[in-house]
Amino acid sequence: MQRLTGRQMPAAAWREDRAMMAAQAQRGGKGYNQHVFVERATTGASIEIVDYEFDGSELSGCEDRSLLRWRLAPDYFSSSWRLARQPEFVKLGKLMFLPGRVPFRAQPSNPLRSSRNLVCHFQPELEQQIMGDPDDWSPEQLAECQDIRCGRIELTLRRMWQEMMHPGFANELLLDGLLATLAVDISRYFRRIGPVGDDSPKRASALSKADLQRIIDFIHSARGGCPTASQLASVCGMNLSSFRNRFKMTTGTSVHSFVEDIQLERAKGLLVNSGMLMKEIAYELGFTHQATFTSSFRRLVGMSPSEYRTAHLN
């Protein structure tokens, strides 16, 4: 696979920046505890479901191997990361790719009781296919690492999580296949923002990351009902028709499905990670009646909120 290339700072400055951050990483404390409770080894990666507990202090480090981390719960929190060669901290999203041998620093905004994640640690051969030499990555590609937005990647990770939690027939074969799909989609994701001359198509009319973040923030802050497409279009300063088209082009899904998915993940996080009553969760998510929340949750998950909470707490 062709390596990713792009505009770079001078090699000497890049090496100096990386060395400085690596030295800081060695001096810094860990800043978190972790508990791995499911782990699988495949031909190309080790896959873990792991809980992190942060103490709120600044983190620094440098991974030996590249990893992909998908946060399962809580649904939303604020934290900023900076990779070597980046001039400033970037807000961390739900899905991130951390290149191996690239020092990083992180600034959690507040301590978290727990953060549950699915983490893939890639073996060197597969890592080389995905990213090539990290020295060749452009600043734009590095900036995308901390907040990946790709429905195909999340769909594969969700399937991987389900197979990790409830392994079935030919479990190892399926995980190997999902990992191969994941590697291709990650590589394609970063190649789409490569330099001029890259052979992948550009998405000229896609929503900006700032627009997407405004949409997500608005959904999380909504009360008294789920946000409508018209409201979200107004948040972005667009007419409804243009917003729907650009939203579908960017996310690969409809506005209704996107809002429903976020609300569902928020509901799951609140059920498992908080002691809120059902009616309090329903109000938090914008439902005027607990019964409406319960029926919507059952339709999407196949069990009631109470049954989901009991199953996951046990």
For the chain, which domains are there?
A: 11-191 (2.60.120.10), 209-313 (1.10.10.60)
Tell me which of 159 and 132 has the higher pLDDT.
Answer: 159
Residue 289: other Cβ atoms inside 10 A: 11
- List Cβ<8 Å contacts ≥24 apart for 221-224: 222/286, 223/283, 223/286, 224/286, 224/288
Is the pLDDT at 3 greater than 60? The verdict is no
pLDDT, the chain, mean: 78
pTM for this entry:
0.56
Given pLDDT bands bounded at 50, 70 and 90, which one contains residue 119?
very high
For the four alpha carbons of 216, 217, 223 and 228, in that order, the dihedral sign comes to negative
The Cα–Cα gap between 63 and 67 comes to 8
State the pLDDT confidence band at 4, using cuts at 50, 70 and 90: very low
pLDDT computed for residue 8 by the predictor:
37
Q: What is the predicted pLDDT for the residue at 22?
A: 41
Q: Does the structure show a pLDDT above 70 at 309?
A: yes
Residue 213 has pLDDT above 90, yes or no: no
Residues 194, 7: Cα–Cα separation, whole Å = 9
For 5-57, the pLDDT digits (tens) are 333 334 444 344 444 444 433 333 466 788 898 999 888 899 999 988 877 77
Average pLDDT of the segment spanning 167-187: 90
Helix/strand/coil (H/E/C) assignment for every residue in the chain: CCCCCCCCCCHHHHHHHHHHHHHHHHHCCCCEEEEEEEEEECCCEEEEEEEEEECCCCEEECCCCCEEEEEEECCCCCEEEEECCCCCCEECCCEEEECCCCCEEEEECCCCCCEEEEEEEECHHHHHHHHCCHHHCCHHHHHHCCCCCCHHHHHHHHHHHHHHHCCCCCHHHHHHHHHHHHHHHHHHHHHCCCCCCCCCCCCCCCCCHHHHHHHHHHHHHCCCCCCCHHHHHHHCCCCHHHHHHHHHHHHCCCHHHHHHHHHHHHHHHHHHHCCCCHHHHHHHCCCCCHHHHHHHHHHHHCCCHHHHHHHHHC
Lowest model confidence (mean pLDDT) among 53-62, 77-86, 154-163, 224-233: 77-86
Q: How do residues 228-285 score in pLDDT, each as one tens digit?
A: 898 898 888 888 888 888 898 888 888 988 988 888 888 888 898 888 889 888 888 8
pLDDT score at 110: 61
Higher pLDDT, 299 or 140: 299
Q: In angstroms, rounded to a whole number, what is the distance separating the alpha carbons of residues 89 and 102?
A: 15
pLDDT at 135: 65
Residue with more model confidence, 226 or 297? 297
Residue 105 has pLDDT above 50, yes or no: yes
Cα separation, 295 vs 280, in Å, equals: 16
